[in-house]
């Protein structure tokens, strides 16, 4: 059972690094706070009955923004110290790398939700349902963030080459994570309205998570194979630079 | 009588029958009914005109999309041809030049 | 040889069928009772949607083959199909609201199919952007994106269906009554032939470009004195 152990070691290592200098934790939390304030300013005038329409969107949009930021930062670190290549050369299972990175992203996202959800409860009375049903809210948050992290990790890793461009990550992430976010939106709305179908939505979200993790794990390997070698495709790279010179 | 206003075929049949009389009713019976029918016709005409303009726009958009893409493909082909030409000249000049290295 | 003539044949076919289809649409078929004249937009709107989905699948499958077998042909087809998804998708996304606006005065109706199409379109735009502006090794990433996009089709569709349970429904009537199918096929034929011709041309161009890149690199290796001064890496 090398896979879980490797994934656990890698994840633990990453988390330890994060906790040591707290950079990601601090910036992500502060960013969450900022987004929260922006949402509060934008939607303060919503009436009590209308708020349940907007709150799911606020929650999951904030998760999406923080997620993009987190993924960029997680792989930036690898890119700067070129450790991704080292990891790929080492006899580590690719899937373990994927699971570790996705897990770290998940932890950061859930951590931000610790700021986000109480903040929403504080600002919008209709969100008090989150406080009344904390376990349901927790399950919803974890499942939704898992869906997001499982998709995002694949593409953030793929873009983490030495000359990767961050702007492309946003272009990719939002359309691809939209179904996961939509499911989470619907489930959140059901939670806020006290809809009986909430548990069904949660179950569906869990199934979606499983599907996405499998898909992500399967694709992760093929996406990264190229970056393992020095200068993935030397011919293409040279040809590209020639085109740039013309 | 009012129902006949909306059945042109029946109306024409009626008029054909009445053509023997001195006085032929040209259209409907009273001003209100005529105005009613006119307003319906105006609405229908407006809808048709609007429909046609939408159709024209839709088809126009479709064809310009394909045309633009076609032009882009054409330009890409031109670029490739020029590239091949440049490569050819370069190789030729390298061949004709005496070996330096 | 086949590759060169195929687009020409297809385009000729399209050129012949297109007037036929226009005549069928406008002259033979009556004005639809409920929706009026403007429903005729559908005869091109629906085939375009089919073409978009078709080339979305083609792109995903070609990308999978590209990753599995390192096949250049598959890669070229994937790129060409991806671009066609964008063109056809634009057509669908523009003609749909035009039709909606004519029929109900509302261009964007939050219809499930509309949203699904929009999201898929975004995914394939991302694909093309990554291929164009991605770093040197990002071809595989783009392929993964295309595969994800193709697999996402049912996922997005179900997600939108679920999402719609929280939004008032305003379903677009998009099922054609049976007697109008006859006008649909010529339009489909013309559009499909045009689209396939363009995809074939684009794929061939991409293959040519890849070969050209290789030729340039070899030329620099073989005749360095002839090449322009190399910047940076040797």
Pair B32, B1: CB distance under 8 Å:
no
In the prediction, which pLDDT does B20 show?
A: 57
Q: Which chain B residues touch C226 with a CB distance below 8 Å?
A: 90-91, 93-94, 97
Interval C170-224: pLDDT, tens: 454 455 556 667 778 888 888 999 999 999 999 999 999 999 988 888 888 776 6
> Is the ipTM, as predicted for this complex, more than 0.90?
no
Pair A193, A52: CB distance under 8 Å:
yes
Q: Would you say the pTM of this structure is higher than 0.90?
A: no
pLDDT in tens, chain A (246 residues): 677 888 888 888 888 887 777 888 888 889 999 999 999 888 888 888 888 888 999 999 999 999 998 888 888 877 777 777 777 777 777 888 889 889 999 999 999 999 999 999 998 888 888 888 889 999 999 999 999 999 999 888 877 765 656 678 888 889 999 888 988 998 998 898 888 888 889 999 999 999 999 988 888 887 776 544 444 444 454 455 555 444
Looking at the predicted structure, is the pLDDT value of residue C19 above 60? yes
Whether chain B has a CB inside 8 Å of the CB on C209: the answer is yes
The rounded distance, in Å, linking the Cα atoms of C200 and C73 is: 11
34-63 in A: which are within 8 Å (CB) of C?
none
Across the interface, do C144 and A223 touch by the CB < 8 Å criterion? Answer: yes
Residue in chain C lying closest to A208 (CA): C155
The rounded distance, in Å, linking the Cα atoms of B24 and B75 is: 70
Angstroms from C15 CA to nearest CA on chain A: 36
- The model's confidence at residue C3, banded by pLDDT at 50, 70 and 90, is low
Among candidates A169, A91, A89, which has minimal Cα distance to C138? A169
Whether chain C has a CB inside 8 Å of the CB on A134: the answer is no
Interval C95-123: pLDDT, tens: 988 888 877 777 777 777 788 889 899 99
Contacts of A210 (CB under 8 A, 6+ apart): none
Q: H-helix or E-strand containing C70?
A: none
Looking at the predicted structure, is the pLDDT value of residue B35 above 90? no
Across the interface, do C232 and A241 touch by the CB < 8 Å criterion? Answer: yes
The rounded distance, in Å, linking the Cα atoms of C87 and C119 is: 14
For chain B, the chains sharing at least 3 beta-carbon pairs closer than 8 angstroms are: C
Say which range, A218-227, B83-92, C24-33, C134-143, has the weakest mean pLDDT: C24-33
Looking at the predicted structure, is the pLDDT value of residue B28 above 60? no
In the prediction, which pLDDT does B24 show?
A: 62
Residue A199, Cα to own-chain centre: how many angstroms? 23
Interval C28-46: pLDDT, tens: 666 565 556 667 788 888 8
Q: Which chain B residues touch C40 with a CB distance below 8 Å?
A: 55
Whether chain C has a CB inside 8 Å of the CB on A161: the answer is yes
The rounded distance, in Å, linking the Cα atoms of C191 and C199 is: 12
* Token code pair at residue A93: 């299972």
In the prediction, which pLDDT does A246 show?
A: 44
Interval B49-81: pLDDT, tens: 877 888 888 888 888 999 999 999 999 999 999
Looking at the predicted structure, is the pLDDT value of residue B100 above 60? no
Residue A38, Cα to own-chain centre: how many angstroms? 21
Interval C142-185: pLDDT, tens: 898 999 888 887 887 777 777 776 555 545 445 555 666 777 88
Across the interface, do C139 and A233 touch by the CB < 8 Å criterion? Answer: yes
């Amino acid at each position: 059972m090398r896979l879980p152990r490797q994934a656990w070691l890698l994840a633990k290592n990453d988390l330890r690094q994060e906790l040591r200098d707290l950079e990601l934790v601090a910036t992500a939390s502060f960013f969450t706070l900022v987004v929260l304030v922006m949402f509060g300013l934008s939607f303060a005038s919503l009436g009590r009955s209308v708020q349940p329409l907007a709150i799911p969107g606020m929650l999951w949009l904030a998760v999406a923004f923080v997620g993009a930021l987190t993924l960029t930062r997680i792989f930036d670190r690898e890119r700067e110290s070129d450790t991704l290549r080292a990891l790929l050369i080492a006899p580590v299972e690719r899937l373990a790398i994927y699971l570790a990175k996705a897990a770290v992203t998940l932890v950061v996202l859930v951590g931000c939700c610790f700021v986000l959800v109480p903040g929403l409860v504080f600002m919008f009375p209709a969100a008090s349902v989150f406080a009344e049903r904390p376990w349901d809210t927790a399950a919803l948050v974890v499942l939704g963030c898992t869906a997001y992290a499982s998709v995002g990790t694949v593409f953030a890793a793929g873009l983490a080459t030495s000359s990767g461009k961050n702007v492309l990550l946003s272009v990719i992430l939002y359309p691809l994570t939209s179904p996961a976010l939509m499911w989470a939106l619907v489930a959140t709305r059901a939670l806020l309205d006290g809809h009986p179908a909430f548990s069904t939505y949660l179950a569906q979200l869990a199934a979606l998570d499983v599907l996405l993790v499998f898909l992500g794990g399967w694709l992760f390997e093929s996406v990264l194979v190229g970056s393992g070698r020095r200068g993935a495709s030397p011919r293409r790279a040279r040809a590209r630079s020639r085109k740039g010179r013309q | 009588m009012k129902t006949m206003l909306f059945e042109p075929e029946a109306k024409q049949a009626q008029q054909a029958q009445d053509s023997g009389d001195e006085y032929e009713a040209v259209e409907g019976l009273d001003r209100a009914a005529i105005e009613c029918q006119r307003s319906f016709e105006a609405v229908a005409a407006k809808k048709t005109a609007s429909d046609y303009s939408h159709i024209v726009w839709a088809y126009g958009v479709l064809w310009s999309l394909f045309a633009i893409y076609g032009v882009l493909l054409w330009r890409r082909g031109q670029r490739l041809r020029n590239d091949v030409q440049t490569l050819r000249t370069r190789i030729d000049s390298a061949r004709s030049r005496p070996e330096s290295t | 040889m086949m590759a060169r003539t195929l687009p020409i044949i297809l385009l000729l076919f399209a050129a012949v069928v297109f007037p036929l289809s226009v005549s069928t649409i406008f002259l033979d078929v009556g004005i639809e009772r409920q929706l009026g004249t403007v429903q005729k937009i559908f005869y091109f709107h629906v085939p375009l949607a089919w073409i978009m989905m078709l080339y979305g699948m083609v792109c995903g499958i070609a990308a999978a083959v590209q990753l599995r077998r390192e096949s250049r042909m598959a890669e070229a087809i994937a790129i060409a199909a991806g671009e066609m998804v964008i063109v056809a998708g634009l057509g669908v996304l523009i003609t749909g609201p035009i039709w909606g606006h004519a029929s109900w005065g509302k261009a964007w109706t939050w219809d499930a199919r509309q949203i699904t199409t929009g999201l898929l379109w975004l995914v394939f735009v991302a694909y093309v952007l990554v291929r164009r502006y991605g770093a040197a090794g990002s071809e595989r990433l783009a392929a993964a994106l295309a595969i994800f996009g193709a697999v996402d089709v049912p996922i997005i569709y179900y997600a939108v269906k679920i999402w719609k349970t929280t939004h008032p429904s305003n379903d677009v009537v998009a099922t054609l009554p049976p007697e109008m199918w006859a006008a649909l096929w010529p339009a489909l034929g013309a559009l499909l032939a045009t689209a396939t011709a363009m995809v074939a041309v684009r794929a061939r161009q991409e293959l040519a470009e890849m070969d050209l890149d290789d030729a340039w690199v070899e030329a620099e290796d073989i005749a360095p004195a002839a090449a322009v001064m190399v910047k940076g890496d040797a």
